[in-house]
């Protein structure tokens, strides 16, 4: 690229000039707004265009994050979180190998159960992608009630519409950073991947991306209008305001975050459909709503009907996803068996089905391992396979590297693939999950597959079809496998 003197790091964007920071492999521009701050008259409204500027804007420091609770509890050391106050949080960080180039683009949508996360995490550093010839963009979007509250009136799914606004901004302005707007991959993990499943089904997002990478999330995570109203009423009751958008808007962001945290804590205490509707199945109170317009139908149904057929897809899961959420659950005794029974009933599994999972488990903690496998399949593995089946030419991966963290109990848990995908095992924010240096060779292979997919649509192994059912395993056997564990896959036929 051109000289990396600071004066050479000013680029002209459609909104105005910005100054970035040189890196060893190009440059990074932080906190570049793609929409106006969602406060005041813009609160609980669709994203509005960002204001333009004439003076050079300094884009060398992290910006504010969406309102959210700070990390706490037993997982705080495993899932780091950064909270930066401020209203102007609808922005993007951009790593580029060359502002004068025309490189493939990846837009990363972070996870966090639709209530936490941001582009301020250093674990989402895009340096390795820029090193390998990709413009890497990490966005913020509205979370919790700000992004997903809906009482049945007004515009729903504001968090998803923020993502659409960011992708529109990429289409219209990424060339200023050396990116090719005709080769855009959306990539997300957990709630970010679930968001991508929704984007594939949304008319407003059509044509804004050409490839999609979905890590530990697919097309099953959206709720009915009735369930959304149930969550809204519970939130309003906690806040002591009328159950309307105007009522909730009358409280401060801090009060709203505290209230939605209370509502989230209520769900695991009574995870029953008669109480929560389909929120109980998805185990998250704030998530996309099937409103019939912004999100017309459940994403997997839209994909089965042909939505996203022109988009190249890479989708997958970790082999022990649910371990992250049950680290404090006793591995032996009656508790895991009771929890498996409750979870099984939520997903329509009978006693024989739950017994099958126990029969497939090995070792002294069979009930615990059966519970982990059941929930991993229900929420992550089976939705990933169903999306691949519906799409018809998706590539599927499974991540099987097991962390030694928490005396080995973390295993191949939810989120563990991220430091490997980003090829930044040394980042301090991943130390808790890795509990050591990790496997550098595996990170090289996995990251290279993601880069290859963004560039060509081919990560390096055959697509998944009903005839072949090919999955690329990273870690574990670290090879291509065919029709892994068909008995558990077939058990979910007609259920998930």
Q: State the residue range of the domain holding 254.
A: 1-496
User: Distance between CA atoms of 140 and 159, rounded to whole angstroms?
Assistant: 9
User: Distance between CA atoms of 12 and 7, rounded to whole angstroms?
Assistant: 13
Whole-number pLDDT of residue 290: 97
Whole-number pLDDT of residue 382: 98
Q: Residue-wise over 82-115: b if at least 16 C-beta within 10 A, else e?
A: bbeeeebbbbbbbbbbbbebebbbbbbbbbbbbb
User: Do 156 and 183 touch, CB atoms closer than 8 A?
Assistant: no
Strand-pair partners of 19: 10, 58
How do residues 329-365 score in pLDDT, each as one tens digit? Answer: 998 888 998 999 988 988 999 999 999 999 999 878 8
The DSSP annotation for 85-98 comes to: --S---EEEEEES-
User: Distance between CA atoms of 274 and 35, rounded to whole angstroms?
Assistant: 39
Whole-number pLDDT of residue 89: 98
Contacts (Cβ under 8 Å, ≥6 apart) of 70: 81, 83
The DSSP annotation for 184-215 comes to: EEEEEETHHHHHHHHHHH-GGGTTS-SEEEEE
Number of domains in the chain: 1
Look up the CATH number of the domain holding residue 389. Answer: 3.40.50.1820
Mean pLDDT rounded to a whole number for the chain: 94
Whole-number pLDDT of residue 8: 61
Structure tokens at 399: 């991540």
The distance in angstroms from the start CA to the end CA of the chain is 49
Instruction: Examine the pLDDT at 6 and tell me if it is beyond 80.
Output: no
**CB-CB neighbours of 333 under 10 Å:** 12
Q: Hey, which residues are catalytic here?
A: 190, 321, 414
How do residues 267-321 score in pLDDT, each as one tens digit? Answer: 888 888 888 988 988 889 999 999 999 999 999 999 999 999 999 999 999 999 9
What percent of the chain has pLDDT above 70?
Answer: 98
Instruction: Examine the pLDDT at 47 and tell me if it is beyond 80.
Output: yes
Pairing of strands 179-189, 211-215: parallel
Whole-number pLDDT of residue 77: 86
Contacts (Cβ under 8 Å, ≥6 apart) of 228: 148, 149, 150, 151, 152, 156, 289
User: Do 469 and 439 touch, CB atoms closer than 8 A?
Assistant: no
| Cα pseudo-dihedral 163, 276, 375, 142, rounded to 10 | 20
Whole-number pLDDT of residue 73: 78
Structure tokens at 64: 């504010």
How do residues 375-420 score in pLDDT, each as one tens digit? Answer: 999 999 999 999 999 999 999 999 999 999 999 999 999 999 999 9
Whole-number pLDDT of residue 75: 82
Instruction: Examine the pLDDT at 4 and tell me if it is beyond 80.
Output: no
Structure confidence at residue 210 as a pLDDT band (50, 70, 90): very high
User: Do 415 and 216 touch, CB atoms closer than 8 A?
Assistant: yes
What percent of the chain has pLDDT above 90?
Answer: 86
Starting at the earlier edge strand, list the strands of the sheet with 480-482: 21-23, 26-33, 91-96, 135-139, 103-109, 179-189, 211-215, 312-318, 395-399, 470-474, 480-482
Instruction: Examine the pLDDT at 137 and tell me if it is beyond 60.
Output: yes
Whole-number pLDDT of residue 79: 86
User: Distance between CA atoms of 105 and 451, rounded to whole angstroms?
Assistant: 10
Instruction: Examine the pLDDT at 2 and tell me if it is beyond 80.
Output: no
Contacts (Cβ under 8 Å, ≥6 apart) of 187: 106, 107, 108, 109, 196, 212, 213, 215, 450, 454
Strand-pair partners of 481: 471
């Amino acid at each position: 690229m051109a000289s990396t003197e600071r004066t050479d790091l000013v680029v002209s964007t459609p909104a105005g000039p910005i100054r970035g920071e040189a890196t060893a492999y190009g440059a990074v521009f932080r906190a570049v707004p793609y929409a106006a701050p969602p406060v005041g008259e813009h609160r609980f409204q669709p994203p509005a265009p960002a204001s333009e500027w004439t003076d050079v804007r300094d884009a060398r420091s992290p910006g504010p994050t969406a309102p959210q609770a700070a990390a706490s509890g037993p997982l705080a050391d495993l899932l780091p979180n950064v909270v930066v106050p401020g209203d102007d949080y609808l922005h993007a960080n951009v790593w580029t190998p060359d502002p004068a180039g025309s490189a493939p683009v990846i837009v990363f949508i972070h996870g966090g159960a639709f209530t936490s996360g941001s582009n301020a995490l250093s674990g989402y550093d895009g340096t390795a992608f820029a090193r390998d010839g990709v413009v890497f963009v990490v966005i913020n979007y509205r979370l919790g009630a700000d992004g997903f509250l809906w009482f049945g009136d007004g515009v729903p799914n504001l968090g998803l519409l923020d993502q659409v606004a960011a992708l529109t901004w990429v289409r219209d302005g990424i060339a200023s950073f050396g990116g090719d707007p005709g080769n855009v991959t959306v990539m997300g993990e957990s709630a970010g991947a679930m968001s991508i499943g929704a984007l594939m089904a949304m008319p407003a997002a059509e044509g804004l991306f050409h490839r999609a990478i979905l890590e530990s999330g697919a097309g099953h995570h959206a709720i009915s209008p009735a369930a959304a109203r149930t969550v809204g009423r519970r939130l309003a009751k906690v806040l002591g305001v009328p159950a309307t958008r105007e009522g909730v808007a009358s409280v401060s962001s801090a009060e709203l975050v505290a209230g939605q945290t209370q509502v989230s804590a209520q769900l695991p205490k009574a995870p029953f459909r008669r109480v929560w509707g389909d929120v109980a199945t998805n185990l998250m109170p704030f998530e996309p709503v099937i409103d019939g317009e912004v999100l017309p139908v459940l994403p997997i149904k839209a994909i089965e009907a042909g939505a996203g057929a022109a988009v190249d897809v890479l989708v997958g899961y970790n082999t022990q996803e649910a371990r992250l959420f049950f680290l404090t659950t006793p591995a032996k005794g009656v508790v895991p068996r009771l929890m498996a029974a409750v979870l099984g009933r939520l997903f329509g599994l009978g006693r024989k089905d739950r017994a099958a999972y126990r029969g497939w488990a090995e070792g002294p903690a069979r009930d615990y391992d059966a519970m982990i496998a059941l929930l991993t399949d229900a929420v992550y593995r089976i939705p990933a396979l169903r999306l691949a089946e519906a799409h018809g030419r998706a590539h599927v991966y499974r991540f099987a590297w097991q962390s030694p963290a928490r005396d080995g109990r973390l295993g191949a848990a939810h989120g563990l693939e991220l430091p490997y995908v980003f090829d930044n095992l040394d980042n301090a924010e991943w130390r808790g999950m890795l509990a050591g240096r990790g496997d550098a060779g595996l990170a090289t292979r996995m990251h290279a597959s993601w880069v290859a997919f963004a560039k060509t649509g081919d990560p390096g192994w055959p697509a998944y079809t009903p005839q072949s059912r090919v999955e690329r395993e990273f870690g574990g056997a670290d090879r291509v496998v065919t029709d892994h564990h068909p008995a558990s896959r077939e058990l979910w036929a007609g259920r998930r």
